[in-house]
Amino acid sequence: MKVAVYYSNNDVRIEERPVPRINDGEILVKMMASGICGTDVMQWYRQKKAPRVLGHEMAGEIVEVGKGVDNFKTGDRVFVSHHVPCYNCRYCVNANYTACEALHTGNYEPGGFSEYIRVPAQNVKYGTFILPDNMTYEEATMIEPLACVVAGQKQIEIKRGQTILVIGSGMSGLIHIQMAKSKGAKVVATDINKYRLDKALEFGADHVFNADEYSVEKLKEINKGSLADHIIICAGAKSAIDNAIASVDRKGKILFFAVPEGDISIPSTRFWRDEITATFSYGAAPDDLKIAMEMIQSGMINVKKMITHRLPLSDIQKGFKLVSEAKESLKVVIIPD
């Protein structure tokens, strides 16, 4: 079978490997669509473990079922989560599923950018979901990124009437915009790319600013003299952090949905005096995935319009170029040849 092996953003090679053999309790899935995530092109993060087959936003068709699997059958259309908790450790017992070691270390084999994927028993049990009839495979690749947004926004508790500043209007930023608007918030968005600023308006932002021209004074002009109640950082530039810290109001929260390569410095005295919270979000739990599926199925979050490119597996290098350049693309989905 064909697999796409990541060596660097500019070196993703199509190689041949044997189709994985499944064990009891496992399933074999034929990849029908697999999204390229923004984290896939974080070269400083990914290259440490290269070469490897990436891809964690995968939907496909079950082509083989192992002994003991009773709730799935061949031909089922499924979304499969790459990371699942164990539900037994002290983190899981306290519902802190994304802190579970199993969630951080588990994965399917060899990765979503492959013609066939072996799904381990734990992922079959907790991370495999039958797709609704009205959901395409391509739309299903958005379940995981949407679930991550669901998990992230739980931490900042957005309420109706609040002002939310979303820094970075790529795919994740646009999902955050849609979700914050669904909760009745006012949303201000920034980016350095005009294409993405236009998309931010299209997906519901009330105001947008080019990040290079953004200032606290401009935020106050459109927000009745106030700073933002909460900030969601969806960009890894240092300027994004600086703008977030300068723009957050007292008792506000800054959600680091994206992170820079280096360490972060914060003005601790101001954070103490104004009781500002900085929080980070990594991944999603199975319950978040279920919520995301329902949002896509109901049309509450429009993911179809966010898919801008569909490329065959053999042309995945072009996909990585599109995502890493971040010009006029949002979601790039890989499909079989």
Strand bridging mode 163-167 / 228-233: parallel
pLDDT in tens, 13-37: 999 999 999 999 999 999 999 999 9
C-alpha dihedral sign at 41, 46, 52, 58: negative
Segments making up each domain of the chain, as ranges: 2-143+284-335, 156-280
Question: pLDDT value at position 105?
Answer: 87
pLDDT in tens, 89-111: 999 999 999 999 999 888 899 99
Mean pLDDT, residues 215-233: 97
Mean pLDDT, residues 199-227: 97
3-state secondary structure of 155: coil
Confidence of residue 335 (pLDDT cuts 50, 70, 90): very high
Q: Cα separation of 157 and 164, whole Å?
A: 11
Question: pLDDT value at position 39?
Answer: 87
Alpha carbon distance, N-terminus to C-terminus of the chain: 11
Question: pLDDT value at position 47?
Answer: 84
Q: Mean of the per-residue pLDDT values for the chain?
A: 95
Q: Determine whether domain 156-280 maps to CATH 3.40.50.720.
A: yes
Six-digit token pair at 337? 């040849």
With contact defined as beta carbons under 8 Å apart, do 337 and 38 qualify?
Answer: no
Mean pLDDT, residues 51-57: 95
Half-sphere CA count of 226, side-chain side, radius 13 A: 16
Question: pLDDT value at position 291?
Answer: 96
Question: pLDDT value at position 87?
Answer: 94
Question: pLDDT value at position 220?
Answer: 98
Q: Cα separation of 120 and 250, whole Å?
A: 46
Mean pLDDT, residues 297-320: 95
Q: Determine whether domain 2-143+284-335 maps to CATH 3.90.180.10.
A: yes
Confidence of residue 149 (pLDDT cuts 50, 70, 90): very high
Q: Is the pTM for the entire model greater than 0.75?
A: yes
